[in-house]
Amino acid sequence: MPEAPPTDEGWFVLHDFRTVDWDAWRAAPEHERDRAVGEGVEYLRTHENVEDADEGASAVFSVLGHKADLLVVHFRPTLDDLSRAERQFERTSLANFTEQTSSYVSVTEISGYVSQDYFEDEDADVDEGLRRYMEGKLHPEIPDDQYVSFYPMSKRRGETHNWYDLPFDDRAEMMSEHGDTGREFAGKIKQVIASSVGFDDHEWGVTLFADDPTDIKDIVYEMRFDEASSKYGEFGEFYVGRRFPPADLGAYLAGESVPTDEGDSAHAEHGAHGSAHGHAHGDSPHGGGGHGGSAGGGSGHAHGDAPHGDSGEGDETESIRGELEDLNIYAGKPHGEDVYATVLYSEADADELFEEVEGLRGNFEHYGTHVKTAVYTANERDRSAVVSIWETQSAAETAAGFLSELPGIVSRAGEESGFGTMGMFYTVKPDYREEFVEKFATVGELLSDIDGHQDTDLMVNTEDENDMFIASQWDAREDAMGFFRSDAFRDTVQWGRDVLADRPRHVFLA
């Protein structure tokens, strides 16, 4: 008898598809439409903020084509939570203008195809990175402002090709090859696989998220050629749409483009990790450096306090970059070869933190978009930073989901109040390291007397004492810019050119 792989389950999932009765909507008095929008926004907001359960995630999407207009996705710990969320929608005035044309019920799942050790003994020495990877599959987050594709699927049970008659090793090998195809899209696609065996008409529900909708087409197309799909895959209907924040519901019903600019800002407030807050300039991610900013570097920085659009660029940020370039602050290439950094601050013991990060890093290194992940410790206070640098913003955001579960995490760079500068990475020539640290201390004393300055840390890589970055926090942008225009900073920049080992490369703060 063929061996059934073990499984582990996480959150239950409801895909709730709705069509809008557009004739009834157009005919309704304005006050009824206003009430429907208000109650709809409140329902979506409270569920996106998971005010109805202990944990989970929710999001709303506009759907293209005739099969649906709206898709509301809920991840919750129990089926009862999903039932309550579904029924609470029916209590809103918005429900009077919609019909549930389809739905799909499932539960997030991982199986023994990924790792037998994970299932054989819960006390087994399972790689910590793999354990966190599994946890991310069981309790996924929903990416902000991205395209979505949902489809159900099953494994074929025909007379010629029957997946369930195959030996376990054959199925595991095909699933491994299938996974290799998926890994080619790391950083472009995030997928959630949920089992619907016994819950719905197919065996799994697959949800794909991407910044570029053509990446969804490409991954589905290329996976069709894998034996696991070409011989054994059977698919249901496909749905495609775009996420928008609850605040944009009125704009959607009015026929406007969503997400709107205003909705993007509102959505960033409620995202799992926040939006991309400005930029940071920094080092070559391979340990090369950039010239540091606040204390002895040559690179300026531009980390604004307002979220930007999908491109990662904003008018404010561009003006900062231009002004710093005009001041001749850059000692290398401030533009080009852009990469994205996720930075999380932790108060955990540095050794404990490094041990967990090392496990995650081993898995990150399987992906072509990964550049660097390291732990940095503050030179003069008990604080550490986990820095993960990637070639794409979506990959950096995905990594943040894993890193946010590390011990002692207290904040994420870009989410502090005021104006933050982060990402002035650099590598100091070994002969100048002590002199550099002394220079930082001198400039640090100068900073402490400047109006608008909050705090500044020199962060040192635990694996390479010559690899550092400077994190600085100010009350406002103009306070920081005033220091960068000063003679003291300009002198420090010039000095830094002689002691640093490499030139800067622009890093976006994801």
**What number is the average pLDDT over the span 231-247?**
96
- 278 touches 302 (CB < 8 A): yes
The predicted structure's pLDDT at residue 415? 66
The two three-digit tokens of residue 206, written as one number:
């697959």
The predicted structure's pLDDT at residue 472? 79
Residue 223 and residue 292 in one domain? no
CATH number of 247's domain: 3.30.70.1030
In the chain, how many domains are there?
2
Taking only the tens place, the pLDDT of each residue in 244-286 is: 999 999 999 999 999 986 544 333 333 333 332 333 323 222 2
Task: Give a yes or no: residue 1 inside a domain.
Answer: no
pLDDT over 90 percentage in the chain: 45
Mark which of 251, 269, 287 sits at the end of a domain.
269
Residue 187 and residue 317 in one domain? no
Confidence of residue 380 (pLDDT cuts 50, 70, 90): confident
Residue 263 and residue 279 in one domain? no
The predicted structure's pLDDT at residue 360? 86
Pairing of strands 279-282, 233-235: unpaired
The predicted structure's pLDDT at residue 305? 28
Write down the catalytic residue from 151, 252, 340, 345.
151
Question: Is residue 302 pLDDT above 60, yes or no?
Answer: no
The two three-digit tokens of residue 284, written as one number:
């070559």
* 368-407 exposure pattern, b = at least 16 Cβ within 10 A, e = fewer: ebbbbbbbbbbeeeebbbbbbbbbbbbbbbbbbbbbeebe
Residue 309 and residue 256 in one domain? no
Residue 216 and residue 282 in one domain? no
Taking only the tens place, the pLDDT of each residue in 460-469 is: 999 999 888 8
- 307 touches 265 (CB < 8 A): yes
CATH number of 315's domain: 3.30.70.100
Task: Give a yes or no: residue 2 inside a domain.
Answer: no
Question: Is residue 321 pLDDT above 60, yes or no?
Answer: no
Residue 261 and residue 326 in one domain? no
The predicted structure's pLDDT at residue 300? 29
Residue 195 dihedral angles phi and psi, to the nearest 5°: -80, 135
**What number is the average pLDDT over the span 278-298?**
30
Residue 280 dihedral angles phi and psi, to the nearest 5°: -145, 145
Burial of 263 (0-12, 13-18, 19+ CB in 10 A): buried
Arithmetic mean of pLDDT over the chain: 80
Residue 315 and residue 375 in one domain? yes
Question: Is residue 205 pLDDT above 70, yes or no?
Answer: yes
Residue 249 and residue 287 in one domain? no
151 is catalytic: yes
**What number is the average pLDDT over the span 437-456?**
82
128-142, 170-184, 235-249: lowest mean pLDDT where? 128-142
Residue 308 and residue 212 in one domain? no
The two three-digit tokens of residue 276, written as one number:
């991309």
Residue 311 and residue 203 in one domain? no
Confidence of residue 419 (pLDDT cuts 50, 70, 90): low
**What number is the average pLDDT over the span 338-358?**
87
- Could you tell me the residue range of the domain that residue 151 belongs to? 7-269
